[in-house]
Amino acid sequence: MNVQQRYRSGWQIAVLMLLSTVLAGCGINTIPTLDEQAKAAWSQVQNQYQRRADLIPNLVETVRGYAKHEEETLTAVVEARAKATSIQVDASTLDNPDKLKQFQQAQDQLSGALSRLMVVSERYPDLKANQNFLALQSQLEGTENRIAVARRDFILAVQNYNTELRTFPGRLWHSVLYSDLPMRDTFEATSPGADKAPQVKF
């Protein structure tokens, strides 16, 4: 290899390195990064909803021990939990707005059933004094707060992702390299106050 060929080869390598640096600086990786952040935020939403679902059987059994006449309310909670846990939205179905809406409606239905259960428990002073019930109530309250935070973080992650797809240079990169990644839907308030965690305090 003569000097001229080595010189040309050195320039080609330098140009490729400069081009890769410029492309990286222009946001070529921003869309997949934001996509992964939205998926990670969704995983946190799922984790918190699953944590709530895991608390419910113990809560129902504790209430049942003191409030045998409230079987209708307890059954509604159990059925709402079964429905909520049967609808799964993972990273592969996160782009399906109908599935996301079904998931949200099932979770909202479960929140409503839990709220009614907490109202019913007010009628039973012995239940309200039960240490197991108090511990479950505290865990449920903490979980509802974590659900609200996880949902907020997911909404923000999706907003950042969608904004990148709509603005320059993300719009350009999306049309050229990432056209398979769609805009994402997020949670919508389906009832007044749905964007706030239910109150489970006594």
**pLDDT tens track for 23-34:** 555 778 999 999
- Map tokens 């709220």 to a residue: 115
Question: Cβ-count burial of 158 within 10 angstroms (0-12 exposed, 13-18 middle, 19+ buried)?
Answer: buried
- Predicted structure pTM score: 0.81
Q: What angle (nearest 5°) sits at the alpha carbon of residue 201, between those of residues 198 and 202?
A: 135
3-state secondary structure at position 107: helix
Query: In 7-124, which ranges are E strands?
Result: none
Give pLDDT tens digits for 51-110.
999 999 999 999 999 998 899 999 999 999 999 999 999 888 888 999 999 999 999 999
- Name the average pLDDT for the chain: 87
Token pair of 100 as six digits: 């996301």
CB atoms within 10 A of CB 30: 19
Question: Cβ-count burial of 12 within 10 angstroms (0-12 exposed, 13-18 middle, 19+ buried)?
Answer: exposed
Q: State how far the Cα of 53 lies from the Cα of 101, in Å rounded to an integer.
A: 19
The fold of 31-176 is de novo design (two linked rop proteins) (1.20.1440)
Domain ranges of the chain: 31-176
